Structure 1
């Protein structure tokens, strides 16, 4: 490929990059495991995963964390598990407040949520769901013509009811507190829908394995194109749009001269615009996966059991319920300096039940265990992404700082204790669950099963030793500090960012549905400008 000229350059072929490129237009992976969500368990850390590594994290036992990011057209949509879960309305309203732009409130984004969806239930509220969008979305119970109802479905829901957490059937006005049924962007045939397939890239010139080094600027601080790692250049007639993700976007901005001046000077990079928050304010959803041993594995409750072989059960990740919950007053009052007005109603954590074990060391996938994911939705810890040098081939340096605030530690300890109580101490699940099985692996010696009476200190130790990020990172090029409400990079022209790095606050839901809506709205703004 020689030097090229194009109207728009979109840097990054992930979820948002494919949406934007498709909307602006005048190879999908051949790995068969990417077709189905269940077989996608094998993709984490594999050939379709960049699998970045963090710096050692002092607050998680100095562990180095694997940071997954999709290494294929479609980005994370090629390796994720298909969860289609919005945040709570309050999360989006906070985003709008921080960004200073009502377009990013729940009311402002809802139009684009609706636009992106082809929702399975034609009787659903048309103010909340769309029926003509690009992405087919279904509930677990409705998938496979209603045949994908797992054996523990009603038992798990009833166990939550014992704890006072009721089924939130319709999530009216964006309220997500309670037990919600999992939704997936799973095709009607039970297959994955990567962004580059749902948003076609015909008439878009796509170059894979062509990494970008930096943005090129003219004399007036206007982005005029990009320089590739191999020194070739591509010129943009109109705009450069960076959609490289929360780790790589700062890695492109800083060598381009946009970032904290002290960091750039250290590596001899000429300053184009002082952007002190570029690479800062990194957040992610930190989670712990726990395995629970079944009293009778022969009853077919979990993947791997002979009785769990019903074809519909294998057409997606075996899950059905997800519970979103606020924190009790005792934790909020203890951490008043980290809370904001309204936090007593916001969903700070989620608990997800799955009928498969997601790679917990030493726990067999043979139908003997089910599992849970307990995740912190609104972390107050913040990390950073920076560059190691001016070299175009060096990977970014990522310091996530998980669990670095007392608020986060208290919140997750409480959430894990709630999970233990649900699985082992409710009348519905106690007859089915024998107990929690700690992971077994070199370096994890000394772990004992978690029970209702386990101390806070022991739960925290488990969180520090085995917890991991949930691939929902953002904040490193945030609206209000690095970009404006239209994704335009402050201090320069001709440059936009369209990816999760611009979302300024954590959201109480999985990112996928939000990122499609965000990309649709920003694509409309780009088209309006042109």
Structure 2
């Protein structure tokens, strides 16, 4: 590839980048899409979610090492992030869960732009979806969009109903958690059925496949070094790591993700002046919030030993043989919960107004153990994920040097506020109660099985009577991110309400880095809607 020129250069071929490039090309625009990673089309493990479990930490995953995190026992976390055409949609688990309406309304309030409220985003949620239930509310769901979305129990002609589906539903009911069937008006609290984005054969739908790139000039294994600007601070193209250049007649759009986007901005001279000066990078525009405000969903996976594995309740057992069970990830319920008043009262200085009704944490069950050290995948255990949806801890991403080949420095600061610690302790205690101490589950589960690994010696099973201190220790020693990072080029601080980078011209950002506040749910449903709205703004400008 020699030096090239086009109308739009899109940097990053992940979820958002593929949507932006595809929609621009469908509107007759000349587009070049530059992706640092490879094209995954020839790897068969990409096709299905269960086989995709093997992709974590592989060639399609950056697995960024963090700096040691003092609040999680000085551990170095390895952060999964898609590296390849399709980005995170190639290595994720397919959950299609919007946040609560209140999450988007907070986003809109923070940036002063109602287009990012739930009502403002709703048309773009609808546009992106091809929803499984034709009887669903057409004001809430779409039926002609590119992303096929199904409820787990409706998949495979209704054959994918797992053996403990009703038992776990009843267990939550014992805790007075209602089944939220319709999620009316964007309300996601209570017990929801898991929705997935997979095609009618249970196969993965990567963004680069569902949003066609036939008319886009796509270059994989092509990392970008920095943005090129003219004397008026207008972005005119990009310089690649190998020194070649790609020019843009109209705009450069960065969709490189929450870790790479701030790195590219800083290497281009946009960021905190002190950080740039430290590495000898000329300042183009002082933007002190670049790399700040990193938020992520911190979570813990727990395993539960079954009393009678021969009953076929879990993946790996002889009785877990229904072919439909293996299409998609074996899970079915997700519970979104608020905090009790005593925790909010204790943390008044950190909790925000209205949090008594917000979904602060999520719990989902799975009939496979997701890589918990020492726990076999042999049908003897089921598992849960307990995840903090609205963390108040904030981290930072910055550059290690002025070299484009160095990975960014990431300081996630998990569990650095008392509210986050108290919230997850409450969430874990609730999870343990649902899975081990209800009348519904006690005949099924013996108890929780701690991970077994060097450095984790002495951990004891968690019970409903476990102390807060012991639960916190488990969170610090074994908790991890859920690959839902954002905020490092936040709207209202680094970009405006249309993704335009403040202080320069001709440059936009369109990825999770611009989302200013944590959102509940799993991010891909939101990111598709966000990208659809952003590309409509780009086209309106053109």
The TM-score bracket by the shorter chain reads over 0.9
2:105 counterpart SS class? helix
Is it true that 1:392 corresponds to 2:392 in the alignment? no
Displacement of 1:40: 1.2
Is it true that 1:473 corresponds to 2:479 in the alignment? no
Provide the residue aligned with 2:251 in structure 1.
Answer: 239
Q: Is the 8 A contact 2:40 2:46 kept in 1?
A: no
Distance 1:367 1:222 in 2: 58
Provide the residue aligned with 2:36 in structure 1.
Answer: none
Provide the residue aligned with 1:161 in structure 2.
Answer: 173
Distance 1:359 1:505 in 2: 29
Q: Is the 8 A contact 1:486 1:525 kept in 2?
A: yes
Q: Is the 8 A contact 1:291 1:371 kept in 2?
A: yes
Q: Is the 8 A contact 1:56 1:65 kept in 2?
A: yes
Distance 1:322 1:33 in 2: 26
Superposed counterparts of 1:53-452, under 5 Å: 53-452=65-464
Displacement of 1:165: 0.2
Q: Is the 8 A contact 1:301 1:308 kept in 2?
A: yes
1:337 counterpart SS class? coil
* Runs of 4 or more above 2 Å deviation: 26-29
Is it true that 1:511 corresponds to 2:523 in the alignment? yes
Displacement of 1:29: 2.6
Distance 1:322 1:413 in 2: 18
1:40 counterpart SS class? helix
Provide the residue aligned with 1:8 in structure 2.
Answer: 8
Q: Is the 8 A contact 1:29 1:72 kept in 2?
A: no
Q: Is the 8 A contact 1:20 1:523 kept in 2?
A: yes
Q: Is the 8 A contact 1:28 1:197 kept in 2?
A: no
CA-based RMSD of the aligned residues comes to 0.6
Displacement of 1:70: 1.0
Provide the residue aligned with 1:462 in structure 2.
Answer: 474
Structure 2 residues not aligned, in runs of 5+: 29-38
Q: Which of 43, 49, 54 pairs up with 1:42?
A: 54
Q: Is the 8 A contact 1:28 1:196 kept in 2?
A: no
TM-score by length of 1: 1.00
1:330 counterpart SS class? helix
2:485 counterpart SS class? coil
Map Cα deviations across residues 266-297 of structure 1 (whole Å, 9 max, x no partner).
Answer: 11111111100000000100000000000000
Provide the residue aligned with 2:33 in structure 1.
Answer: none
Map Cα deviations across residues 378-425 of structure 1 (whole Å, 9 max, x no partner).
Answer: 000000000001111111000000000000000000000000000111
Displacement of 1:28: 4.5
TM-score by length of 2: 0.97
1:133 counterpart SS class? coil
Distance 1:28 1:432 in 2: 40
Distance 1:319 1:470 in 2: 16
Distance 1:2 1:392 in 2: 20
Distance 1:391 1:95 in 2: 34
Q: Is the 8 A contact 2:149 2:197 kept in 1?
A: yes
Superposed counterparts of 1:490-501, under 5 Å: 490-501=502-513
